[in-house]
């Protein structure tokens, strides 16, 4: 059975080549690793979890105006029953979510030009501290994600800053998630089996079990919880970019015994970045595609139509 490795971020300084090799091995198989010793402050993590709990506890009438199905920019509240990540199973995900994107002003030229996914964030009026906490977390996770991509560049024998220009205005999404306790209904799922869409995902959980991965040729296995450590996984965009050097591994969330919360940061590239086989990875297995076009193709297959009112 595959073991999900635990990497210590401090090794990036003390042994950069060894750290890059260990991270690269995890990216090739199983496509998941735990990252301890990272620089994201514990008090910021706690504050963001607290604001997430407060948001999901709001009555539906206060969350509904922020509905993600009414927003063309992948921002806002996803109600329970909004998503079906595993199309083959037929089960609708039992979770709520709230998405925050790159924070842009209403008069930003990209917003005014209606560029793909370049909209303003939406915020709950009832929680005045929500915006500051989530944006601070977004920036911290973004900074860490870019640093991880520098290690990935080293592993792939590319210049360390190779990816920097692809993530300086990314289609990254901070997603707060809330799973209700299992109801016992047959076939229910917290989040259906899926692979992530972007380059990498940085995930923190509250410790409640439920996350499972399915490495190649193996059965589902639980992802261990290491307090304070990020669960990091490779997304389909980076698998495509690396010409299948790295692997994007299916994962799912089982209905938890108790209410479960997590915070995911999905690092997608800039909308105009061209995703094509990286130098040194051989003949291209996929045609080039922009970051925006790839993300749109994946999101369109995820959401359930909004019910008629």
DSSP track, 175-233: EEEEEPPP---TT-BSEEEE--SSSEEEEEE-S-S-EEE--TTS--EEPP--TTPEEEE
Full-model pTM: 0.96
Q: Which fold has domain 6-177+189-300?
A: Jelly Rolls (2.60.120)
What angle, 0 to 180 degrees and rounded to 10, lies between the N-to-C axes of helices 130-155 and 16-28? 100
pLDDT at 299: 84
- The 10s digit of each residue's pLDDT in 135-171 is 999 999 999 999 999 999 999 999 999 999 999 999 9
Q: How confident is the model at residue 194 (pLDDT cuts 50, 70, 90)?
A: very high
- pLDDT tens digits, residue range 223-253? 999 999 999 999 999 999 999 999 999 999 9
Among 152, 154, 148, 174, smallest CA distance to 39 is for 148
pLDDT attached to residue 303: 60
Give residue 261's pLDDT. Answer: 98
Which band of pLDDT confidence, cut at 50, 70 and 90, is reported for residue 307?
A: very low
Q: Work out the percent of the chain whose per-residue pLDDT is above 90.
A: 89
Q: How many CB atoms lie within 10 A of CB 63?
A: 20
* Residue 305 clears pLDDT 70, i.e. is over it: no
Query: Domain-by-domain residue ranges, the chain?
Result: 6-177+189-300
Which pLDDT score, from 0 to 100, does residue 90 have? Answer: 77
Asked whether 216 and 161 are in contact (CB, 8 A), the reply is no
Give Cβ neighbours of residue 18 (< 8 Å, ≥ 6 apart): 11
Interval 272-300 mean pLDDT: 95
How much is the pLDDT for 300? Answer: 79
Instruction: Give the model confidence (pLDDT) of 1-59 as tens digits.
Output: 678 999 999 999 999 999 999 999 999 999 999 999 999 999 999 999 999 999 999 99
pLDDT tier at 309, thresholds 50, 70, 90 = very low
Q: Which residue has the tokens 């799973």?
A: 179
Digit-coded pLDDT (tens) for 213-225: 999 889 999 999 9
Phi and psi, residue 238, nearest 5°: -75, -35
């Amino acid at each position: 059975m595959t073991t999900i490795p635990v990497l210590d971020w401090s090794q990036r300084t003390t042994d950069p080549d060894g750290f890059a090799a260990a991270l690269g091995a995890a990216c090739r198989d199983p496509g998941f690793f735990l990252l301890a010793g990272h620089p994201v402050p514990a008090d910021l993590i706690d504050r963001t979890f607290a604001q997430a709990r407060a948001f999901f506890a709001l009555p539906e009438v206060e969350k509904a105006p922020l509905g993600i199905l009414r927003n063309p920019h992948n921002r806002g509240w996803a109600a329970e029953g909004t998503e079906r990540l595993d199309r083959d199973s037929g089960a609708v995900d039992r979770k709520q979510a709230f998405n925050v994107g790159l924070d842009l002003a209403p008069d930003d030229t990209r917003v005014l030009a209606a560029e793909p996914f370049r909209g303003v964030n939406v915020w709950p009026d009832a929680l005045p501290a929500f915006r500051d906490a989530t944006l601070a977390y977004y920036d911290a996770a973004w900074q860490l994600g870019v640093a991880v991509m520098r290690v990935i560049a080293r592993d792939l024998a590319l210049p360390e800053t190779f990816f920097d220009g692809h993530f300086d205005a990314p289609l990254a999404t901070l997603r707060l998630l809330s799973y209700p306790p299992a109801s016992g209904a047959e076939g229910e799922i917290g989040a259906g089996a899926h692979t992530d869409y972007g380059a990498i995902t940085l995930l923190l959980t509250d410790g409640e079990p439920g996350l499972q991965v399915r490495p190649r040729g193996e059965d589902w296995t639980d992802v261990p919880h290491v307090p304070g450590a990020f669960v990091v996984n490779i997304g389909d965009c980076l698998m495509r970019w690396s010409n299948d050097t790295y692997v994007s591994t299916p994962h799912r969330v089982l209905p938890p015994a108790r209410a479960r919360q997590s915070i995911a940061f999905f690092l997608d590239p800039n909308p105009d970045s061209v995703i094509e086989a990286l130098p040194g990875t051989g003949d291209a297995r996929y045609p080039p595609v922009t970051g925006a076009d790839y993300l749109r193709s994946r999101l369109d297959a995820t959401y359930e139509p909004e019910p008629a009112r």
